[in-house]
Amino acid sequence: MACRVLIVEDEFLVATEIEYVVSELGHRPVGIAADQATAISLAPMAEVALVDLNLRDGPTGKDIGRMLAAEHGITVLYMTANPAQLGDGVPGTVGVISKPVADHEMKQAVSYAVARRHTLEAEPPERLKLFA
């Protein structure tokens, strides 16, 4: 079941690696957003978003994820080297996986987010911290 995926990441090499993995799984990347304005402009095209916290415009990822979930109905999964910045989590979002993320973990995380999007049963990756 293919899904449209938004990548919110300001490090170009990391973003293109995520884009490659998303495509390899049969999903369609709708774009790479390095800041809040770009993420919001791409939101109408996305079903799932993979969101880093610290972006080109500062630590805006937490708020971006909250907006994407609440205002656009997007299934949000955070991918960050700073998971502690999320505290106990962000209501309406799936969870967080700590970077660096190995390819097989990224594939599992994307597949889990897509399954959640389609309300299918799925096993979360071992390092994925789920939010309530």
Per-residue pLDDT tens digits for 30-52: 999 999 999 999 999 999 999 99
- At 1, the pLDDT band (50, 70, 90 cuts) reads confident
CATH of 4-130, one of 3.30.2130.30, 3.30.930.10, 3.40.50.2300, 2.40.50.140: 3.40.50.2300
In this structure, the chain runs to a length of 132
Q: Looking at residue 127, what is its pLDDT?
A: 93
Mean pLDDT of 53-68: 97
Cβ-proximal residues to 44 (8 Å cutoff; 6+ apart), any chain = 72
How far from 93 is each of 5, 9, 50, 103, 113, CA to CA, in Å?
Answer: 15, 17, 11, 22, 10
Beta strands in 52-127 (DSSP E): 75-80, 95-98
What pLDDT sits at residue 44?
A: 98
The one-letter amino acid at 7: I
